[in-house]
């Protein structure tokens, strides 16, 4: 079958003939109809995670999928051929930039009936990231204040909607051109990052979702109330992440050193920093499906490419400026 692969880290994404997916007893074979693009795809391609995520080559990229079930493993009970589904495949089993992909039953969920394949394909990774940051880690509650950076981006556009559904007051950073867009999503306070410094405007926040890292993360710690929490999805990784992956002692030390500065600042300020590398979770995705069907969450698709243009689509991420997600769409059979 056709797929888009890299032959080595930093190598170009290119089309190749690849083997059919291996379908285990608890796996579901999905005909890919749409695949969302994420910065994670580019980070993996460029080798940013090569010390902690071990892959073999040629490597098929793609961490979001929406499609139709073709076949199921012997022990699968929740899905049958013909079902429309979506998922963020497990980090060790990505491969949505292909015609077909095998996904573990536990990582899969029925696709929201109200969405197109392109819309559904844009959601899993960013929606699960928002859920795990705000609900699971942040325990965000009604009446609390949350700062969500890059509100017009893939994660931010979903996180704003989820935070409003939870009853929180939401501040976000965005360009002036996207101010009306993020307000429509539910943001109460919008700060143009090109003309204003959010650290000088905000204070006493319960939670920050930071997708930028670096100096932006350090400033984010300073807008938190004592006991508040910042959750970073761009790094630096923390010791808990290294422990979760079961890394060897040397790599744990390297990761601890990388996050030492931000952890020291957080401790000084009396706040907490956590790194989140989101994980596949079909049960959480089912809850997200319910919110979509209720109208509480909606996808934001900024740009689509055909399957033939997959390499071009990945390269376009570097250009930025897209509201929401970029999605690869397969032509209908």
pLDDT band at 333 (very low <50, low <70, confident <90, very high): very low
Residues 6+ positions from 260 with CB-CB distance below 8 Å: none
Judged against a pLDDT cut of 70, whether residue 203 lies above it is answered with yes
The pLDDT score that the predictor gives to residue 332 is 62
* CATH superfamily of this structure's domain 2-123+299-329: Medium-chain alcohol dehydrogenases, catalytic domain (3.90.180.10)
- Where is 193: in which H helix or E strand? none
- Of 318, 322, 317, 311, nearest to 11 by C-alpha is 311
CATH architecture group of domain 126-275: 3-Layer(aba) Sandwich (3.40)
pLDDT (mean) for 58-74:
98
Count of Cβ atoms closer than 10 Å to residue 11 Cβ:
15
Task: Please list, residue by residue across 65-76, b when 16 or more beta carbons sit within 10 angstroms of its beta carbon and e when fewer do.
Answer: bbbbbbbbbeeb
List Cα–Cα distances, 112 to 159, 165, 269, 279, in angstroms: 18, 18, 42, 20
What pTM was computed for the model? Answer: 0.96
Residue for token digits 């539910």? 186
pLDDT tens track for 279-325: 999 999 999 999 999 999 999 999 999 999 999 999 999 888 889 99
> Between 260-269 and 214-221, two packed helices, what is the crossing angle to 10 degrees?
20
Q: Strand pairing of 145-148 and 108-110?
A: unpaired
Joined together, the tokens standing for residue 309 give 């243009």
The domains of the chain are located at: 2-123+299-329, 126-275
Cis peptide preceding 58, ω within 30 of 0: yes
Q: Strand pairing of 2-6 and 65-72?
A: unpaired
Judged against a pLDDT cut of 90, whether residue 2 lies above it is answered with yes
User: For residues 204 and 152, what is the distance between their CA atoms, to the nearest angstrom?
Assistant: 23
Q: Which of 25-29, 107-111, 191-195, 254-258 has the lowest mean pLDDT?
A: 254-258
Average pLDDT, the chain: 95
Residue for token digits 């928002």? 130
pLDDT tens track for 103-123: 999 999 999 999 999 999 999
Q: Are 166 and 140 in contact (CB under 8 A)?
A: yes
């Amino acid at each position: 079958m056709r797929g888009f692969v890299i032959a080595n880290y930093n190598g170009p994404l290119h089309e190749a003939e690849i083997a059919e997916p291996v379908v285990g007893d608890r796996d579901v074979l999905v005909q890919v109809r749409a695949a969302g693009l994420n910065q994670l795809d580019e980070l993996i391609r460029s080798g940013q995670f090569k010390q902690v995520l071990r892959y073999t080559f040629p490597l098929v990229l793609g961490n979001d999928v929406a499609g139709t079930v073709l076949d199921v493993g012997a022990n699968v009970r929740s899905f049958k051929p013909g079902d429309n589904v979506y998922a963020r495949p497990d980090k060790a089993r990505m491969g949505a930039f292909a015609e077909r992909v095998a996904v573990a039953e536990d990582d899969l969920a029925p696709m929201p009936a109200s969405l197109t394949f392109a819309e559904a394909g844009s959601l899993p990774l960013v929606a699960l990231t928002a859920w795990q940051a705000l609900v699971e880690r942040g325990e965000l509650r009604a009446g609390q204040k949350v700062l969500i950076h890059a509100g017009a981006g893939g994660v931010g556009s979903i996180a704003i909607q989820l935070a409003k559904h939870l009853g929180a007051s939401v501040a976000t950073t965005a360009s002036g051109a996207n101010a009306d867009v993020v307000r429509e999503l539910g943001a109460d306070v919008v700060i143009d990052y090109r003309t204003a410094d959010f650290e000088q405007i905000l204070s006493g926040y319960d939670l920050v979702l930071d997708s930028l890292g670096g100096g932006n993360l350090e400033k984010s710690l300073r807008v938190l109330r004592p006991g508040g929490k910042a959750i970073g999805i761009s790094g630096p990784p923390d010791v808990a992440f290294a422990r979760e992956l079961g890394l060897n002692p040397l790599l744990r030390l390297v990761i601890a050193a990388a996050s030492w500065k931000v952890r020291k600042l957080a401790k000084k300020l009396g706040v907490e920093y956590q790194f989140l590398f989101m994980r596949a979770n079909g049960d959480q995705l089912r809850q997200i499906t319910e919110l979509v069907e209720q109208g509480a969450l909606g996808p934001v698709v900024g740009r689509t490419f055909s399957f033939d243009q997959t390499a071009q689509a990945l390269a376009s991420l570097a250009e930025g400026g897209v509201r929401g997600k970029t999605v690869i769409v397969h032509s209908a059979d």
